[in-house]
């Protein structure tokens, strides 16, 4: 959460000569981060990002307290000023106006205080108050409401003011809202309360307050108000947070309450409010203080050893210096036997629990920027790199140098895409809270998004896209609390029906990974094939309906089967006899099968490859080679005749003479 | 004379011929090998010195070599371009025939770069699930359900996926979910580098619902804040250049204590905070925020089965895209995902 802090307002609580820039530097390096300094007239306003663990800094005073601790480290003197209001006593009146309070759910409200003022004069606030509110981002309304906003900004304690005369029968019942209850809030909105929301009901059963979030319109202060009921509480942060989320309503007050407002901070705010009501509204206290606080917070003590401090910081720190830092920040400390025991100030009660928490305080005020940078020198862990990373990079590089371009597509796809691809929804994983209809399902295949990626471009460009990413399938024992299967796949696509290009690339990938595979027709598909290794399916390839050529490989499996092992064969001592044979082959003859048959004719045939194609004429190059002797013409002729016979017998193909 | 000599001569002649690209040079080689006083004739003359039983074989091989050289000369002659048959002019300015060249995605390039930098100091890459239990993504990292800190991680949930002990199935909103997995898999000393896809419910120019993070985790004895500073400064200098300054500032995460924000001096304005008198559009007063880091919280170590009294460690988790978007001045993260060739071709 970001807050706006005027420099001039800070100076009311802090005596220092540090400039706004100097303050911003010290805060950013040692405390909370100053995002911006805005110049407003001759004042400066800091925009500060407050981390969730430091609700005590969501106030002018909280920032002043931090500055008092960190500025001296930058050689700027700084002293937190005492607030005289905090020593004033709340007047005890003889005749108290009545207020009957019932807390039906005390755990939701650790501390409940209320005080009634009479003779309140409704008018605009003085200019200095209006100015400060404006600089801090809140519009001034009238002196009564302004006091509550002013103190929320200054001390971090939200509060609410009711018109006392609008609380029927001077009776308040705090309880959790029931389903279906409604309230009209100060901003004229009718809000349906989520069950469990903390509310106040008056003697007539009307809901007068949406506690910690916003007051009800029926009890709001206006120019006719003479008697004000001031209301200062702390609430269960989780319930405030839940209500805000469910009702989609998050006020400045609620944001503070959901991060935690300490019950011990209630009374200082009440005391200063009494002073302000007197000075700004001419008001008099007209009731006894209601203060329901059944379980006061017990101060806690955390102990840390100097050894631990030095170990975590990486440099030795003087124990006296560490102690001084903690004292600056409001901790009461005792040093004994190389350890510090620190009593946590109430405003840090939720944040400080462990020795590490104290070390953070000591280290940040010392200044992280003042610590040296050192590479760790411990023993290196003995681990073996997962080979899939090396293969992934190697194959991606290869594809790049073969002319392919990598794309990265969202793992999340639309309902429409799931339908188009013909996937069964029960074989896919669905997002329960999708951000948009484009991102609802986890994709079980890369191809549809690759096609979409190709179609993003002008169709006259030849596009070769590939992607390597996880696909997701519910685990087979779904319902038995098992994470889904995430398989790394590699898919490629050309936006032209160039099947033999994708096949060539698939073959080259397999060769590069040292894998022998078989390509077979895919049963039931005319334009697609399967890639098998030892009869195990590891990929598919073919043409899509929109005339694109694709391959799709199970890369996780390929990595398991891959090998970098090479075998050395001494070069043959005899020269091969090389000849080209051209066959006239009937249509739809599988050339892969034909090649296999030729190769199997005789062990002296070392290699058969298709070198030329013209209509039905296919030219094969044959390498004949015997290990020990030079083959004679007669040797070769014998084998050749066998080839011609076999090819004719099995495929009805004829040698072209 | 031995048979190897014939073979060597043949090979030498053929490779020489294949390199020639002018007719005059070819003629010179023809005379040198096949001419009346050429090398082959010289060998033929030596035949007589061989024992009879070797003469036939040597003769056959010399003949063989002669034929092969003749063939090569002829085919090389045929392949000469017309112009060079006339003269030896070579047009250096005509376009070359480029090999096919595609493009690796910037994300892949950056991941490789990051992995190389950290591998040198012993960090090993790992793969952990993208669909993960709440325990690993949140609760085990000291973020119980309903904790306000969870707001920062707008999380996608998976339908019908729930574990009785580990909670709901989520899409990992950060790579930190790898921390406990790593601690379960390995005892200290450990140095992990987890680079993976992450998902959050947000989409605008600087947020995509899917993005990449790289997470480092080091746990050992006596690990201090100074070590975290050392490792991260080492990375920043390797990646952005040796003149970068770095710093850490206080921040808050539930799973580290203390926690930091890591800054590096701006690569656009060189840390000055302004360019030609105007405020630098990229950084804050000369510093760019790279991401969060911190000393591993004792509760997280405990949840990972490591004794926080004996071991300490640090971790960071930063956006991969952020690194190179700053480097190249790319201002819309959504450009990275999908098939816009005009974008992909630039890298």
pLDDT for res A545: 87
**Residue A109 class from Cβ within 10 Å (0-12 exposed, 13-18 middle, 19+ buried)?**
buried
Q: Is B341 close to A435, i.e. CB distance below 8 A?
A: no
Q: Are A359 and A322 in contact (CB under 8 A)?
A: no
Closest to A51 (Cα-Cα) out of A19, A28, A74: A28
Token look-up 């946590």 returns A344
pLDDT for res B83: 53
Q: Place A413 in a pLDDT band, splitting at 50, 70 and 90.
A: very high
A351 marked as part of a ligand binding site: yes
Contacts of A35 in chain B (CB under 8 A): 284
Alpha-carbon distance B133 to nearest alpha carbon in chain A (angstroms): 8
Task: List b or e across A46-56, with b for residues whose CB sees 16 or more CB atoms inside 10 angstroms.
Answer: bbbbbbbbbbb
Judge whether B250 is closer than 8 Å to chain A, CB to CB. Answer: yes
Q: What is the pLDDT averaged over residues A333-342?
A: 93
pLDDT for res B1: 62
Tell me the CATH number for domain A2-81. Answer: 3.30.56.10
Q: Are A596 and A647 in contact (CB under 8 A)?
A: no
Q: What is the pLDDT averaged over residues A237-254?
A: 92
pLDDT for res B146: 77
CB atoms within 10 A of CB B346: 10
Mean pLDDT of chain B: 90
B268 vs B116: which has the higher pLDDT? B116
Q: What is the pLDDT averaged over residues A247-273?
A: 94
What gap in Å lies between CA A94 and CA A98, rounded to an integer?
Answer: 12
Q: Place A133 in a pLDDT band, splitting at 50, 70 and 90.
A: very high
Closest to B121 (Cα-Cα) out of A411, A374, A410: A374
Q: What is the pLDDT averaged over residues A112-126?
A: 96
Q: Place B58 in a pLDDT band, splitting at 50, 70 and 90.
A: confident
pLDDT for res B86: 58
Q: Contacts by A423-429 with C-beta closer than 8 Å and gap 24+?
A: A426/A474, A427/A473, A427/A474, A428/A472, A428/A473, A428/A474, A429/A472, A429/A473, A429/A474, A429/A484, A429/B131, A429/B158, A429/B159, A429/B161
Q: Which fold has domain A387-561?
A: BirA Bifunctional Protein; domain 2 (3.30.930)
Q: Place A354 in a pLDDT band, splitting at 50, 70 and 90.
A: very high
Torsion of CA A495, A496, A502, A504, to 10 degrees: -140
pLDDT for res A476: 74
Give residue B72's Cα distance to chain centre.
43
Q: What is the pLDDT averaged over residues A45-71?
A: 96
Reported as a single tens digit per residue, the pLDDT across A425-461 is 888 999 999 999 999 999 999 999 999 999 999 999 9
Residue A570 has φ and ψ, to the nearest 5°, of -65, 145
Could you name the CATH architecture of A301-369? 2-Layer Sandwich (3.30)
What gap in Å lies between CA A338 and CA A316, rounded to an integer?
Answer: 13
3 state DSSP class of A52:
coil
Q: Are A331 and A357 in contact (CB under 8 A)?
A: no
B151's CB contacts (< 8 A; 6+ apart) are none
Q: What is the pLDDT averaged over residues A198-219?
A: 95
Judge whether A313 is closer than 8 Å to chain B, CB to CB. Answer: yes
**Any idea where the domains of chain A sit in the sequence?**
2-81, 100-292, 301-369, 387-561, 577-655
Judge whether A102 is closer than 8 Å to chain B, CB to CB. Answer: no
pLDDT for res A307: 95
Beta strands B287-296 and A182-184: pairing type? unpaired
Judge whether A403 is closer than 8 Å to chain B, CB to CB. Answer: yes
Residue B248 has φ and ψ, to the nearest 5°, of -120, 145
Interface predicted TM-score (ipTM): 0.90
Q: Is B230 close to A375, i.e. CB distance below 8 A?
A: yes
Domains A2-81 and A301-369 share a fold: yes
**Residue A511 class from Cβ within 10 Å (0-12 exposed, 13-18 middle, 19+ buried)?**
exposed
pLDDT score of B37 more than 60: yes
Calculate helix-pair angle for B106-119, A387-401, nearest 10 degrees.
140
Report DSSP letters for A122-163, one per residue: P-PPPHHHHHHHHHTT-----HHHHHHHHHHHHHS---EEEE
Judge whether A375 is closer than 8 Å to chain B, CB to CB. Answer: yes
Closest to B25 (Cα-Cα) out of B71, B68, B77: B77
What gap in Å lies between CA A460 and CA A222, rounded to an integer?
Answer: 71
Residue B115 has φ and ψ, to the nearest 5°, of -60, -40
Torsion sign, CA atoms A542, A544, A550, A555: negative
pLDDT for res B282: 78
Reported as a single tens digit per residue, the pLDDT across B72-87 is 888 888 887 765 555 6
Q: What is the pLDDT averaged over residues B196-201?
A: 96
CATH superfamily for domain A100-292? Phenylalanyl-trna Synthetase, Chain B, domain 3 (3.50.40.10)
pLDDT for res B87: 65
Kindly state the percentage of chain A with pLDDT values over 70: 99
pLDDT for res A280: 96
CB proximity under 8 Å: B 156-215 to A: 156-164, 166, 169, 171, 186, 188-191, 197, 199, 201-203, 208-210
Listed in order, the ranges of chain B carrying CATH 3.30.930.10 are 106-344
CATH superfamily for domain A577-655? Ferrodoxin-fold anticodon-binding domain (3.30.70.380)
By Cβ distance, the residue of A400, A408, A470 closest to B130 is: A470
What gap in Å lies between CA A47 and CA A6, rounded to an integer?
Answer: 9
Q: Place B67 in a pLDDT band, splitting at 50, 70 and 90.
A: confident
Residue A401 has φ and ψ, to the nearest 5°, of -80, -10
Q: Place A130 in a pLDDT band, splitting at 50, 70 and 90.
A: very high
Q: Which residues share a beta bridge with A536?
A: A533
CATH top class, domain B106-344: alpha beta
B19 marked as part of a ligand binding site: no
Q: Place A282 in a pLDDT band, splitting at 50, 70 and 90.
A: very high
């Amino acid at each position: 959460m970001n807050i706006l802090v005027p420099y001039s307002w800070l100076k009311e609580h802090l005596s220092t000569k540090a400039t706004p820039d100097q303050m911003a530097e010290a805060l950013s390096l040692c405390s909370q981060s100053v995002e911006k300094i805005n110049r407003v007239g001759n004042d400066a306003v800091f925009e500060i990002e407050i981390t969730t663990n430091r609700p005590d800094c969501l106030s002018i005073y909280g920032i002043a307290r931090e500055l008092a601790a960190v500025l001296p480290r930058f050689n700027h003197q700084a002293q937190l000023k005492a607030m005289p209001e905090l020593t004033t006593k709340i007047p005890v009146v003889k005749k108290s106006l009545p207020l009957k309070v019932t807390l039906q759910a005390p755990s939701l409200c650790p501390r409940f205080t209320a005080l009634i003022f009479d003779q309140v004069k409704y008018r605009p606030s003085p200019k200095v108050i209006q100015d400060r509110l404006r600089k801090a981002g809140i519009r001034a309304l009238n002196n009564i409401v302004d006091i509550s906003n002013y103190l929320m900004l200054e001390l971090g304690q939200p509060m609410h003011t009711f018109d006392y005369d609008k609380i029927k029968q001077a009776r308040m019942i705090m309880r959790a809202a029931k389903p279906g209850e409604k309230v009209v809030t100060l901003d004229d909105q009718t809000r349906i309360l989520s069950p469990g929301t903390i509310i106040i009901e008056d003697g007539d059963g009307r809901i007068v307050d949406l506690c910690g979030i916003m007051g009800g319109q029926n009890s709001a202060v206006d120019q006719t108000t003479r008697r004000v009921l001031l209301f200062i509480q702390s609430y269960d942060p989780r319930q405030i947070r839940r209500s805000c989320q469910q009702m989609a309503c998050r006020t400045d007050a609620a944001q503070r309450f959901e991060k935690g407002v300490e019950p011990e901070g209630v009374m200082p705010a009440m005391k200063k409010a009494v002073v302000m009501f007197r000075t700004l509204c001419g008001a008099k206290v007209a009731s006894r203080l209601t203060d329901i606080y059944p379980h006061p917070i017990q101060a806690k003590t955390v102990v840390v050893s100097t050894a631990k401090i030095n170990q975590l910081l990486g440099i030795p720190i003087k124990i006296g210096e560490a102690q001084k830092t903690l004292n600056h920040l409001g901790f009461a400390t005792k040093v004994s036997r190389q350890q510090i025991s620190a009593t946590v100030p109430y405003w840090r009660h939720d944040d400080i629990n462990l020795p590490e928490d104290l070390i953070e305080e000591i280290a940040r005020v010392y200044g992280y920027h003042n610590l040296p940078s050192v590479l760790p020198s411990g023993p290196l862990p003995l681990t073996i790199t997962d080979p899939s990373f090396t293969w992934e990079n190697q194959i991606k590089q290869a594809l790049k140098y073969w002319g392919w371009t990598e794309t990265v597509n969202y793992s999340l796809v639309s309902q429409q895409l799931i339908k188009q691809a013909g996937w069964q929804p029960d074989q896919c994983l669905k997002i329960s809270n999708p951000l948009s209809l484009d991102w609802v399902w986890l994709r079980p295949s890369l191809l549809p998004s690759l096609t979409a990626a190709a179609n993003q471009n002008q169709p006259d460009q030849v596009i070769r896209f590939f992607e390597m990413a996880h696909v997701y399938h519910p685990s087979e024992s779904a319902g038995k609390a098992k994470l889904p299967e995430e398989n790394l796949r590699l898919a490629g696509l050309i936006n032209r029906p160039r099947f033999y290009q994708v096949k060539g690339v698939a073959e080259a990938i397999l060769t590069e990974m040292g894998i022998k595979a078989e390509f077979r027709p895919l049963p039931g598909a005319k334009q697609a094939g399967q890639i098998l290794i030892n009869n195990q399916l590891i990929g598919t390839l073919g043409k899509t309906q929109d005339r694109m050529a694709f391959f799709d490989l199970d890369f996780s499996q390929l990595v398991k089967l891959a090998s970098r092992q090479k075998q050395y064969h001494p070069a043959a001592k005899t020269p091969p006899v090389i000849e080209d044979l051209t066959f006239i082959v009937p249509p739809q003859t599988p050339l892969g099968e034909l090649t296999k048959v030729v190769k199997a004719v005789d062990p002296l045939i070392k290699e058969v490859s298709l070198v030329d194609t013209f209509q039905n004429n296919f030219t094969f190059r044959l390498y004949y080679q015997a290990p020990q002797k030079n083959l004679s013409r007669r040797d070769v002729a014998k084998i050749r005749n066998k080839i011609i016979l076999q090819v004719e017998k099995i495929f009805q193909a004829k040698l072209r003479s | 004379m031995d048979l190897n000599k014939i073979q060597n001569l043949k090979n030498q002649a053929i490779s020489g011929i294949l390199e020639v690209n002018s007719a005059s040079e070819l003629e010179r080689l023809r005379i040198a090998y096949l001419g009346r006083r050429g090398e082959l004739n010289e060998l033929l003359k030596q035949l007589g010195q061989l024992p009879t039983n070797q003469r036939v074989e040597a003769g056959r091989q010399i003949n063989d070599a002669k034929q092969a050289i003749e063939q090569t000369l002829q085919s090389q002659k045929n392949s000469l371009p017309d112009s060079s048959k006339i003269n030896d002019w070579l047009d250096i300015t005509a376009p070359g025939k480029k090999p096919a060249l595609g493009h690796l995605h910037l994300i892949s390039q950056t991941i490789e770069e990051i992995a190389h930098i950290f591998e040198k100091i012993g960090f090993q890459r790992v793969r952990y699930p993208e669909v993960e239990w709440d325990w690993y993504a949140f609760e085990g990292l000291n973020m119980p359900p309903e904790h306000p800190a969870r707001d920062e991680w707008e999380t996608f949930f998976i339908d019908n996926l729930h574990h009785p002990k580990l909670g709901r199935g989520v899409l990992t909103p950060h790579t930190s979910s790898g921390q406990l997995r790593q601690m379960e898999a390995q005892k200290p000393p450990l140095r992990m580098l987890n680079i993976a896809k992450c998902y959050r419910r947000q989409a605008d120019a600087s947020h995509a619902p899917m993005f990449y993070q790289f997470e480092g985790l080091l746990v050992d004895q006596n690990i201090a804040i100074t070590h975290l500073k050392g490792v991260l400064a080492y990375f920043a200098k390797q990646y952005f250049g040796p003149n970068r300054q770095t710093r850490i500032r206080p921040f808050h995460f539930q799973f580290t204590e203390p926690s930091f924000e890591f800054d590096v001096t701006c690569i656009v304005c060189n840390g000055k905070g302004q360019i030609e008198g105007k405020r630098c559009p990229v950084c804050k007063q000369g510093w760019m925020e790279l991401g969060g880091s911190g000393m591993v919280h004792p509760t997280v170590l405990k949840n990972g089965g490591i004794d926080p009294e004996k071991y300490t460690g640090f971790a960071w988790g930063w956006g991969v895209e952020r690194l190179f978007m700053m480097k190249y001045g790319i201002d819309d993260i959504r450009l990275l995902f999908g098939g816009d060739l005009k974008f992909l071709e630039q890298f």
